[in-house]
Amino acid sequence: MEVCPGSASSKCGGPTTRAYGTALLQYVDDLMICSEDQETCKADTIKLLKHLHAAGHKASLSKLQFVQTEVTFLGHIITAEGKSTSPKRAEAIQNLPKPCTYKQLMSFLGMCSYCRNFIPNSAVLEAPLRALMQTSSASTTRLMWTSEAEQAFTDLKLALQSAPTLGLPDPTRPFTQTVDEKSGCMTSVLLQDHGGRPRPVAYFSAKLDPVAAGLPRCLRAVAAAEKAVLASRDIVGYSDVTLLVPHAVSLILLEQKTSHLSTARWLRYNTILLEMPNITVKRCNVLNPATLFPGPDDGEPHNCVSVLNQVCTPRPDLSEVPIPNCDLVLFVDGSASRDPASGHCQVGYAVCTSHTVLQSGALPGHYSAQAAELIALTEACKLSEGKSATIYTDSRYAFGVTHDFGALWKHRKFLKSDGKPILHQDKVADLLDAILLPAAIAVCKCPAHTGGTDPISAGNARADAAAKAAARLPLSFVPCLLSSTSTQPPSPPSALPDLQTFSTPQERKLWLTNGTTSSHGVWYGPDGKPCLPKHFFPHFAKLTHGLYHVSKGGMLDALTKHWYTKGFSIYAQKYCEACMTCAQHNPGKTTAKPLAAHPPPEQAFDHLMLDFIELTPAEGESGSAQTGDRTTAHHSTRRLGDH
């Protein structure tokens, strides 16, 4: 029955007495009485109607379902056997046309979401439709339909049309819940035994958060299991639940190192899945995708810990403890500081052994200390190609990229949870490739600036001093500064005579007119710096502009420290103007506009001027308002009283 909405919270607040075994369900102004037999239901219904009448409420006779074994409540058909969707609701959704705007699509998804407990894999079916709404949030925006969205719209209607009848949950008996992860979504079904066979009670599906969706498959299953338990909590309560997952969830949380998960996330998963007394997590080696229930011939068992070790590390034999009797023991360090005299940033890196410096060099001034550490570690791996090496670094960032999250970033295609690329994307990719070169490798973390005399402290101090000394040297070409992708400009030759062979006769003529000289096949400018051909302007523009999007002046300053150029200022200006990131964040110069004025009036009383002054109240008057016409000399003054 339905009562008029007046005082919904008080309609059942009176002293109504019901027979034993009778339940009263209330949702706003919808009431349903459940009894064990017809006579009890009839008596309790009459008591409720009398109570509503005494309280001044009215019931709708057209919506009254008096003592029925099958009733429609909140759009669901409820019987003693279970509940199903109302045919009228399903028909209303089937007759909906294809949405054309953002608002219409939201309305359609809202109607389908009301019945999502009856639709297996509802979140997976909705994903292409929700992807349409990511382009714009304006309610009147026209949708750009794709073939995937068209198919999802049809599949969602068909799934609602063939929605199954779900059993009514019995809190006195245990539940079984199966969970799986598909396409970044949690899919689950809650079951209870019925006549020796499992019967669905509710279907659950939801999209994983961006961080969980970027994890490897085994860790995504852990996130899906936690989300499934939270989704079924309203139905299950504190009843016993057996959670079936096709992955070793308990083993992952107990034995797998948690560096791939944040402490807060691991604690949440561990508390909900392992410490709740009513939840038992079991692994089923197979899972039927259609019913989300284990089948005898579906799936393949796998070792989750072994899979995570392969996915979450760059190479399986990567160690964080020194390798005994290795071929090389290297110390790497990067330095980034500001010169107190000139104010310019000085960045460098170094790779050392216990006795000598193997490689060092200066880096562009816009590089950070983290970038310098990554470059140093990358160069050390290249020097160890085909050998066994133990590499010490005092950078926790470089150590974490190597052992903890570098491979995960590669698994996510070097994208953050917001879809933007990570910092130092190209350098992390180069490091992950270089780690595969040595025959055996161990990257170890050592404390920095200890002042000790042991071999590790002395080697780290030598690398630190070499990196600081290299930062003060002139910038030279470093192979690892460029990404290995084909989108980078061609790298210049390492020898100056070979580099300047790319200059045209017109360039050399321009150099001569500006006072350049040639010595031993190398052209030098008036300031004594080598001349840079225009052929390599794209390479050095990309190098000096960098990930920090340095301005034209900064690019020119960084290049003219080491090269003599003609025309690079104009090229740098055009390069900055063509950069989309700079165009989005730099407002640029505004266009000057002339002073505006009111247009002259064309006739009398076309433009009136109004002024008001407030005076000290005297003789019942507190102010004066004056109106004047701009065309004529007409003025009107009115004194204002207190009111």
Query: What pLDDT does residue 481 have?
Result: 46
- Which residues contact residue 150 at a Cβ distance below 8 angstroms, ignoring those fewer than 6 apart? none
Spans of all domains in the chain: 23-68, 85-161, 175-311, 328-481, 496-585, 608-641
Q: What is the DSSP string of 210-263?
A: HHHHTS-HHHHHHHHHHHHHHHTHHHHTTS-EEEEESS-HHHHHHHS-GGGS-H
Each residue's pLDDT tens digit, 234-245 = 889 889 999 998
Bridge pairing between strands 241-245 and 279-283: parallel
Count CB-CB contacts under 10 A for residue 265.
19
Contact 531, 523 (CB under 8 A): yes
Contact 152, 146 (CB under 8 A): no
Enter the CATH code of domain 175-311. Answer: 3.10.20.370
Low-confidence ranges of the chain (pLDDT < 50): 4-15, 289-291, 295-297, 477-490
Q: What is the DSSP string of 375-391?
A: HHHHHHHHHTTTSEEEE
Rounded distance between C-alpha atoms, residue 367 and residue 517, angstroms: 33
Task: Report, in angstroms and rounded to the nearest whole number, the Rg of the chain calculated over CA atoms.
Answer: 37
Burial class (CB in 10 A: 0-12, 13-18, 19+), 134: exposed
Specify the amino acid at residue 106: M
Rounded distance between C-alpha atoms, residue 97 and residue 93, angstroms: 9
Q: Which residues pair with 242 in a beta bridge?
A: 176, 280
Q: How far is CA 600 from the centre of its chain?
A: 57
Query: What pLDDT does residue 631 have?
Result: 72
Class of domain 85-161: alpha beta
Count CB-CB contacts under 10 A for residue 426.
19
Rounded distance between C-alpha atoms, residue 552 and residue 572, angstroms: 5
User: Does 1.10.340.70 match the CATH number of domain 496-585?
Assistant: yes
Query: What pLDDT does residue 290 have?
Result: 41
Locate 43 and state its tokens.
Answer: 């008596």
DSSP, collapsed to helix, strand or coil, labels residue 182 as: strand
Distances from the Cα of 248 to the Cαs of 132, 278, 283, 333, 411, in angstroms? 35, 19, 6, 40, 21
DSSP, collapsed to helix, strand or coil, labels residue 403 as: helix
Of 43, 6, 48, 50, which Cα lies nearest the Cα of 31?
48
Report which DSSP code applies to 343: -
Locate 629 and state its tokens.
Answer: 């016409």
Q: Which CATH architecture has domain 328-481?
A: 2-Layer Sandwich (3.30)
- The answer to whether the pTM exceeds 0.85 is no
> Computed from CA positions of residues 53, 56, 62, 68, in that sequence, does the dihedral angle turn out positive or negative?
negative
